[in-house]
């Protein structure tokens, strides 16, 4: 073998049978081969297991998909390049011209954009109401055939909680699929409800470290199998290196979620007692408008705490800028704490009435609580609230 040949066919160093790596390696290979065309064709027809081309599937990403499916209590999953991508691909795979989507004012901004701007261009219709408007939801579903209901719980940033059992029952009674963006609640919650598909941003709690992006759609195998060909041709399967990092992050997922939720609860209680604060939005507070529903539906209230400053938007901006331990940026669910000022939480596509229904006030600030020392976080919040 000449050297140019050697560098393209390097020596085999795979561990011998019975000598397994404790951590699965990153399969950083685009192509997988069988010895024969017949074997390759059998695998491509789904008659035997295996891999052929990274864009369709690869062992590292597949390990993550199967882990996530089990965490959410379903049997299959498709992992994608970002949370937004998993939402876009899911909606594209499920709809066609003339279909109708019911979704909510409280939906994450880019998802609203996918439905209102992108899908509209292809003749997919929609109705947007408030997640709190149960009568409106019933009326819409009774009035027109609906392909799917897309919702979030808790919602961003006001942490409104959807009545999942009722919403799913209504969707199914009217022949619609129930699809939840479960990013805020995490993989260990809501699995007991008859939700058809769960979408997640893996960029948040799954990785935890805020250094990698990913998304996932999780559901029953038959539905995921129906969607798989569309996902494959859209070509945004999660890269194996990102999948490895996210799989690594999941090792500490439960500990992080529990500890960060504990800290979020204490911070929400602290803010609720502060004279500068008009209102705290946190599902773990007894004062949450849907406290009974939270108790029924959630085992942990999550790590996002929003609140309204009495002094309004400029005070909220100053507060956000004064914080030293909270990074002034997007995202949530990382080990470092984050803050979003009201000026950064845009809803430019809303009418004034829709802004009112969203519950976002001029002085609304969103905090994502990390893993820092709780006392340090509270001291930082207190110094930033001292307006001077």
Ligand X SMILES: Cc1ncc(COP(=O)(O)O)c(C=O)c1O
Interface with ligand X (CB under 6 A), residue total: 14
Among 113, 252, 266, 331, binds ligand X (CB under 6 A): 331
Measured between alpha carbons, how far is 94 from 96 in angstroms, rounded to an integer?
7
Among 67, 83, 159, 309, binds ligand X (CB under 6 A): 83
Among 146, 203, 247, 306, binds ligand X (CB under 6 A): 203
Which of 184, 326 has the CB closer to ligand X? Answer: 184
Q: Is 215 in the site for ligand X (CB under 6 A)?
A: yes
Which of 300, 322 has the CB closer to ligand X? Answer: 300
Among 27, 103, 108, 198, binds ligand X (CB under 6 A): 108
Which of 99, 152 has the CB closer to ligand X? Answer: 152
Region of 78-86, 190-198, 225-233, 364-372 interacting with ligand X (CB under 6 A): 78-86
**From residue 288 to residue 327, what is the string marking binding to ligand X with x (rule CB under 6 A)?**
----------------------------------------
Which of 104, 108 has the CB closer to ligand X? Answer: 108
Question: Please, which residues have CB within 8 angstroms of residue 134's CB and are 6 or more apart in sequence?
Answer: 163, 166
DSSP 3-state assignment of 386?
coil
What DSSP letter does each residue of 26-65 carry, written as one string? Answer: P---SB---SSHHHHHHHHTTSS---SBTTT--HHHHHHH
Measured between alpha carbons, how far is 134 from 150 in angstroms, rounded to an integer?
14
Q: Is 82 in the site for ligand X (CB under 6 A)?
A: yes
Measured between alpha carbons, how far is 121 from 202 in angstroms, rounded to an integer?
28
Is-contact 66 77, C-beta < 8 A?
Answer: yes
Which of 40, 331 has the CB closer to ligand X? Answer: 331
Measured between alpha carbons, how far is 271 from 146 in angstroms, rounded to an integer?
41
Order of all β-strands in the sheet with 304-309 = 277-281, 304-309, 364-368, 338-340, 327-328
Shortest distance, CB of residue 25 to ligand X, whole angstroms?
Answer: 25
Region of 80-88, 263-271, 294-302, 311-319 interacting with ligand X (CB under 6 A): 80-88
Strands (E) across the chain are located at: 76-80, 100-104, 125-129, 148-152, 177-181, 197-201, 215-219, 277-281, 304-309, 327-328, 338-340, 364-368
Residues in 181-200 at the binding interface with ligand X, rule: CB under 6 A: 181, 183-184
Q: Is 249 in the site for ligand X (CB under 6 A)?
A: no
Q: Is 206 in the site for ligand X (CB under 6 A)?
A: no
Q: Which two tokens stand for residue 249?
A: 């992050």
Cβ neighbours of 40 (radius 10 Å): 16
Q: Is 156 in the site for ligand X (CB under 6 A)?
A: yes
Q: Is 260 in the site for ligand X (CB under 6 A)?
A: no
């Amino acid at each position: 073998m000449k050297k140019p040949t050697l560098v393209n066919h390097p020596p085999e160093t795979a561990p011998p049978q019975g000598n397994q790596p404790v951590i699965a390696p990153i399969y950083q290979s685009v192509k997988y081969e069988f010895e024969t065309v017949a074997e390759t064709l059998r695998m491509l027809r789904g008659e035997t297991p295996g891999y052929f081309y990274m864009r369709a599937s690869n062992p590292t990403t597949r390990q993550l998909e199967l882990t996530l499916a089990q965490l959410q209590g379903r049997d299959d999953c498709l992992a994608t390049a970002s949370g937004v991508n998993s939402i876009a691909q899911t909606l594209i795979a499920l709809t066609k011209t003339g279909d109708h989507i019911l979704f909510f004012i409280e939906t994450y901004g880019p998802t609203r954009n996918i439905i209102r701007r992108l899908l509209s261009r292809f003749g997919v219709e929609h109705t947007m109401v408030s997640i709190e408007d149960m009568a409106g939801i019933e009326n819409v579903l009774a009035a027109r055939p609906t392909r799917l209901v897309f919702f979030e719980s808790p919602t961003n940033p006001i942490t409104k909680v959807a009545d999942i059992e009722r919403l799913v029952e209504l969707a199914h009674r009217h022949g619609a699929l129930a699809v939840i963006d479960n990013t805020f609640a995490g993989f260990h919650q809501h699995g007991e409800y008859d939700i058809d598909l769960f979408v997640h941003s893996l960029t948040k709690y799954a990785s935890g470290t805020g250094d990698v992006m990913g998304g996932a759609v999780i559901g029953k195998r038959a539905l995921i199998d129906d969607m798989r060909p569309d996902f494959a041709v859209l070509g945004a399967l999660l890269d194996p290196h990102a999948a490895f990092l996210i799989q690594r992050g999941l090792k500490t997922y439960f500990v992080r979620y529990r500890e960060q939720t504990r800290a979020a609860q204490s911070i929400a209680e602290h803010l609720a007692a502060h004279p500068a604060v008009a209102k705290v939005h946190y599902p773990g507070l007894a004062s949450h408008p849907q406290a009974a529903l939270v108790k029924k539906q959630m085992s942990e209230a999550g790590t996002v705490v929003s609140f309204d400053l009495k002094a309004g938007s400029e005070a909220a901006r100053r507060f956000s800028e004064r914080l030293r331990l909270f990074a002034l940026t997007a995202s949530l669910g990382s080990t470092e704490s984050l803050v979003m000022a009201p000026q950064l939480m845009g809803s430019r596509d809303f009418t004034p009435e829709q802004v009112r229904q969203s519950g976002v006030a001029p002085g609304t600030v969103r905090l994502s609580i990390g893993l820092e020392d709780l006392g340090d976080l509270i001291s930082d919040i207190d110094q930033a609230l001292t307006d001077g």
